[in-house]
Structure 1
């Protein structure tokens, strides 16, 4: 396996309207690693993900994605090699699931007129929808899907160009418990199925971390509080500091559980 970093972020600042959003953040993601960006609302998670997705430039510092330095590369072209999953992705037409997945090849939200996928591309779309647990919904129309099914379809869409990097921006937003668990199960299966794929997932709920999460960065007020292997970073003390609230963590079957409040304070104290 190629060990060249998929992402290099070095001493990055992001300032908007004079307000610092990210301060001196550094991060390296290697092939096969699955990172989570954790922190309270406003910690800078989505801004950092936007840098990794080649959507914005840093104010200061250097960002390199898939071997290309931001500021020295066509950002629009680079984005075609990144699987960026946004749960707010808009599909205005009643497309079938298979068609939504195939738009990952055209990088559009709607079907491109007079474009016909190859038999190989259609077969890949079918395999990905099955991997994401949507085999029986392959022909279903977008308006008939649950929010959880839409989220999994968008992950399949992002994987159509065979990216080396998958970015997940709070993919469990708005899902009920069943939808969340189905999503986590499928993301975990995906991570196991593709050993060279790297991923970065943004969330502020530790219960949403797939078991295959290998590394974590804790962000607080735009700064990296801690980063490294998940088992080293996700401690009760560090997570309590990150969220400015007493939190007690436990782990069972690869999944993290959180308790907060007085009981957590007694355990942390």
Structure 2
């Protein structure tokens, strides 16, 4: 079991950000966490990374039980986490290779001397993610899409069993988004690939590799299960509260609104 949440709730400032969340992710599964802005996605990710702790309920992540183990640093080194909040934290003068190498030490910046083995792994990850051509370019010169792929390579440096991608395609144009999604698909094809949780509010980003989906709405689990069941016209019409149509093309879903005319 990668993670298991039982009736997990989170309260801050007198308001419930999450209520009675139940979620199980098994090794080998890849999940989409889908929800609109304000649905509680960030609060849930903060729990998974042990940035915050639940107000009530039971949580196990990578075999560690919240409340029973001092797990903050021990847990985070086992989770590859990529979010837009990381984009601005790196030294803009470091090159892409140095940014990736820093992932071996779970540090923002490279302050220790990497081993030859680490250097070899960083180079391989840059190659796998299509970043090798700009390995020596400074981070500040990279496009948003290039930075995202570098950060994913960094997240994989410690060979984590769990990779969480928080809105990784946010702000990317069509070509950059598809290049990023291709990279994610290549990662998942490796025999030692981590379990991936992909967080988004755009269903067209859902790749065939994501066989499971959790729909989060107003801090509660609206539904969870097989992606083909979750990302369907009837289910998403209920989820959004308006009639929508889901069409599938090459095992990718696309969403459109159903306009109802009178008469």
TM-score class, shorter: over 0.9
Determine the C-alpha separation between the residues in 2 that align with 1:251 and 1:122. 41
Unaligned runs of 5+ in 1: none
What's the C-alpha RMSD, in Å, of the aligned pairs?
Answer: 1.4
**Selected match of 1:228 from 212, 225, 228:** 225
Do residues 162 (structure 1) and 159 (structure 2) align?
yes
* 2:18 aligned residue: 22
Determine the C-alpha separation between the residues in 1 that align with 2:144 and 2:130. 14
* 2:110 aligned residue: 111
**Selected match of 1:36 from 28, 32, 35:** 32
**Selected match of 2:126 from 123, 126, 129:** 129
* 1:100 aligned residue: 99
**Structure 2 CA distance for partners of 1:194 and 1:14, relative to 1, 3 Å:** farther
**Superposed CA offset, 1:21-78 (max 9, x none):** 1111111111111101111111111211221222211111011110001122221221
**Selected match of 2:58 from 56, 62, 66:** 62
Which structure 1 residue ranges, 4+ long, deviate > 2 Å from structure 2?
Answer: 243-246
Give the CA deviation at 1:146.
0.4
Query: Does the 8 Å contact 2:145/2:172 carry over to 1?
Result: yes
Give the CA deviation at 1:241.
2.0
* 1:138 aligned residue: 135
**Selected match of 2:213 from 209, 212, 216:** 216
**Selected match of 1:76 from 73, 80, 85:** 73
How many correspondences in the alignment? 258
SS at match of 2:67: coil
Give the CA deviation at 1:261.
4.2
**Selected match of 1:179 from 171, 176, 179:** 176
160-169 or 207-216, which deviates more: 207-216
* 2:204 aligned residue: 207
Unaligned runs of 5+ in 2: none
TM-score, scaled to structure 2: 0.94
* 1:242 aligned residue: 239
**Superposed CA offset, 1:71-127 (max 9, x none):** 222212211111111122121331111100011112111121xx2111111010011
Query: Does the 8 Å contact 1:219/1:242 carry over to 2?
Result: no
